[in-house]
Structure 1
Amino acid sequence: MKKNKQTGRVASEKVRGILTELADAICNAQDKVILGLSGNTFEIHLEGGTINISVDMKGGQA
């Protein structure tokens, strides 16, 4: 079953907080992780999962 993509505007500080919590969770769970970079995508490989972050600057700033 395919999930619908949800998008919306959020404050920059909220994004900063989410990324900080994510980084803390990763670093508290493991001493080292595998980090991959392919084109504009970062992949963080963890035990039991992978986090993919893609950067697309074509859209510019809103």
Structure 2
Amino acid sequence: MQGRDVMTLFIDEIHKFYSNPQNVKAFEEWRKKKHENKNAATKESSQINGLGVRRHSKPASISL
């Protein structure tokens, strides 16, 4: 298969996916859940790393 043929096939498959309302609904639900999980993981990571303090911040006792 030529590169152009592969790209056309890829675009056709994307079009088919988005033409189906059930696929779009499932995708939106997945995207929302992924975003919520990412926010929860970021919040949890901040708490583990010192209650929101950046991991790479310089200690207060060091002056530059």
Give the TM-score band, short-chain normalised: 0.3 to 0.5
Larger RCO, structures 1/2 (Cα 8 Å, 6+ apart): 1
Question: How does the TM-score come out when normalised to structure 2?
Answer: 0.35
Pick the structure with greater CA Rg.
Answer: 2
Greater percentage in helix: 2
Greater percentage in strand: 1
Question: How does the TM-score come out when normalised to structure 1?
Answer: 0.36
